[in-house]
């Protein structure tokens, strides 16, 4: 039964494709329906700010990357990667650490050449992969006077410094650290085809299962279908705040699970086993 139910993966295109492949490997009929469009920075002043942040990398105690997209756009054309030297090598190497909120970002950092010994992230068995879980791991490392850079995205129209992770920035400042914020990419609502819109409407009537990993994706969906009734819609949300947003939007059935592929696949299968 579960294998015939379309699971709509709403992550950005690149991540959605990876998740579709993974879910299909679990016997699920997953389809990509990206609800966040990721693109390079367009505004010259934001491009310049990103370049300056790269140049100042050695001044930071740590750099927090909010997502795999943050990693990819920050290190794009930034070679050699200054964080690729192991922490026990080259005494003159910079001492900057990389922070990641979850395994997807950790994987992106490793693929970008960041030495594993430089990465701090929540343990694989954590209940959630978010700012709170990351802060639990790194709070003891923060010293008064440290400088931390948060690399994030910006909504459209793009704004200086980007948006998101305000809670983490507040914790860092309360601990005495100086926090800089830089946008590495832009997020925007997608342009869906008529076929995609029809797929979304079918899923709104219960002929599919939504997989949400972002409240922003949900907001874009509501904007794309402003008159849609969601009472028959079913969703899996990978964070309590996203689940709350889906319920507030009127989704009839919303289930929460950990944001790992195996947990999501198991949760989906369990829904159709009863």
Burial group, residue 2, by CB count within 10 angstroms (0-12, 13-18, 19+):
middle
Q: Rounded to 10 degrees, what is the CA torsion of 127, 165, 82, 54?
A: 170
Asked whether residue 26 carries a pLDDT value surpassing 90, the answer given is: yes
Q: Are both 2-36+190-271 and 39-188 of the same fold?
A: yes
- Choose the weakest-confidence range: 82-91, 123-132, 184-193, 227-236: 82-91
| Mean pLDDT score, 162-167 | 73
The mean per-residue pLDDT over the stretch 238-247 comes to 95
Sheet holding 97-99, edge to edge: 37-39, 178-188, 147-154, 62-65, 97-99, 119-120
One CATH from 3.40.50.10090, 2.60.40.10, 3.40.50.150, 3.20.20.370 for 2-36+190-271 = 3.40.50.10090
Question: Is the per-residue pLDDT at 92 higher than 50?
Answer: no
Amino acid 252: pLDDT: 95
Tally of CA atoms within 13 A in the half-sphere of 51 that contains its CB: 8
Second-level CATH architecture of 39-188: 3-Layer(aba) Sandwich (3.40)
Per-domain boundaries in the chain: 2-36+190-271, 39-188
Give the whole-angstrom CA distance, residue 142 versus residue 209. Answer: 41
DSSP letter string over 108-157?
A: HHHHTT--GGGEE---TT-S--SHHHHHHHHGGG--TT-EEEEEEEE-SS
pTM of the model: 0.83
Which tens digit of pLDDT belongs to each residue from 103-153? 999 999 999 989 888 999 998 888 888 889 999 999 999 999 999 999 998
Q: What is the pLDDT of residue 80?
A: 65
- Identify the pLDDT of residue 228: 96
């Amino acid at each position: 039964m579960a294998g015939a139910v379309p699971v709509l993966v709403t992550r950005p295109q690149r991540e959605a494709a990876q998740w579709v492949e993974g879910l299909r490997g679990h016997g699920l009929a997953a389809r990509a329906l990206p609800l966040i469009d990721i693109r390079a920075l367009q505004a010259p002043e934001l491009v310049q700010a990103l370049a300056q942040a790269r140049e100042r990398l050695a001044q930071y105690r740590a750099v927090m990357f909010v997502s795999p997209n943050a990693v990819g756009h920050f290190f794009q054309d930034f070679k050699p990667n200054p964080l690729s030297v192991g922490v026990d090598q080259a005494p003159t190497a910079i001492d900057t650490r990389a922070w990641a909120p979850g395994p997807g970002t950790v994987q992106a950092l490793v693929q970008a050449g960041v030495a594993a010994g430089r990465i701090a992230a929540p343990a694989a068995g954590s209940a959630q992969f978010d700012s709170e879980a990351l802060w639990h791991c790194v709070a003891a490392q923060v010293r008064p006077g440290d400088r931390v850079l948060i690399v994030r995205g910006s909504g459209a129209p793009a704004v200086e410094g980007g948006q998101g992770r305000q809670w983490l920035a507040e914790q860092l400042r309360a601990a005495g650290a100086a926090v800089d914020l830089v946008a590495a990419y832009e997020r925007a609502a997608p342009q869906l085809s008529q076929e995609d819109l029809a797929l979304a409407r079918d899923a709104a009537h219960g002929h599919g299962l939504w997989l949400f990993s972002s409240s922003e994706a949900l907001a874009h969906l509501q904007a794309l279908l402003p008159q849609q009734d969601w009472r028959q819609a079913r969703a899996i949300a990978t964070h309590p705040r996203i689940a709350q947003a889906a319920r507030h939007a009127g989704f009839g059935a919303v289930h929460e699970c950990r944001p790992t592929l195996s947990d999501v696949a198991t949760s989906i299968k369990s829904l159709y086993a009863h």
